[in-house]
């Protein structure tokens, strides 16, 4: 799912109709609660936390390139559900899912893994929360707010900005390590990407996405 949407962000510059069609095909694999499978060609139900976040970046990226705002009104079914919704509805559900699927520290749950497959959860450390994916949500909420303003959906824009502000504050409260942002918070209290760790003290993604999202 993630790879297809990342490809669409580049493909739209050369083949915009193909990028739009591929986005719609991906959205048709989204569940009604806003979550998405790991893969849909073939179907892989493994849950990664970053997958829905890419909707929040790829859709605005496509629209910025094409100006085809009619795409937002395209009706797309939800997977294994009698429901359907517009493309805009699919994006909003992804944002709400990420904002509600949080752990004890108020950050997005990691589930199996996030963009870094090597950080998959272990039985010993328990559930994990992803600093990186929470930053993705922040960037995505900004993009959705801008998009909602553009198409006259003020209530969605306000909701997205509230999500952004809440998670930005929480990230700086629980994930800042004094000199950089940590990577992952484990249920047992262990912090991956911490200055207290012997190895792997600092990870790139939380630092770059802190800047991209304005969290830093």
| Residues identified as active-site | 117
Taking Cα atoms as reference points, which of 129, 131, 137, 141 lies closest to residue 172? 131
Output the six-digit token pair for 4. Answer: 């297809």
**Rounded distance between C-alpha atoms, residue 164 and residue 213, angstroms:** 9
Q: Judge contact between 187 and 104, C-beta under 8 A.
A: yes
Q: Judge contact between 186 and 192, C-beta under 8 A.
A: yes
Residue 149, Cβ neighbours under 10 Å: how many? 15
């Amino acid at each position: 799912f993630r790879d297809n949407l990342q490809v669409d962000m580049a493909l739209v510059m050369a083949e915009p109709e193909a990028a739009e069609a591929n986005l719609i095909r991906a959205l048709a694999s989204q569940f009604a609660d806003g979550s998405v499978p790991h893969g849909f060609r073939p179907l892989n139900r493994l849950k990664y936390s970053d997958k829905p976040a890419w909707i929040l970046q790829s859709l605005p990226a496509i629209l910025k390139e094409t100006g085809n705002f009619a795409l937002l009104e395209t009706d797309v079914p939800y997977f294994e559900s009698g429901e359907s919704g517009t493309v805009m509805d699919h994006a909003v559900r992804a944002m709400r899912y990420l904002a509600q699927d949080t752990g004890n520290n108020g950050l997005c749950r990691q589930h199996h893994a996030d963009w870094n497959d090597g950080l998959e959860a272990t039985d010993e450390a328990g559930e994990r929360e992803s600093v990186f994916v929470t930053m993705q949500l922040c960037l995505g909420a900004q993009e959705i707010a801008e998009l909602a303003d553009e198409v006259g959906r003020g209530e969605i824009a306000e909701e997205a900005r509230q999500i952004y502000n809440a998670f930005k504050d929480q990230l700086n409260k629980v994930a800042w390590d004094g000199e950089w942002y940590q990577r992952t918070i484990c249920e047992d209290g262990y912090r991956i990407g911490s200055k207290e760790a012997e190895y792997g003290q600092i990870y790139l993604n939380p630092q770059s996405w802190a800047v991209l999202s304005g969290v830093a």
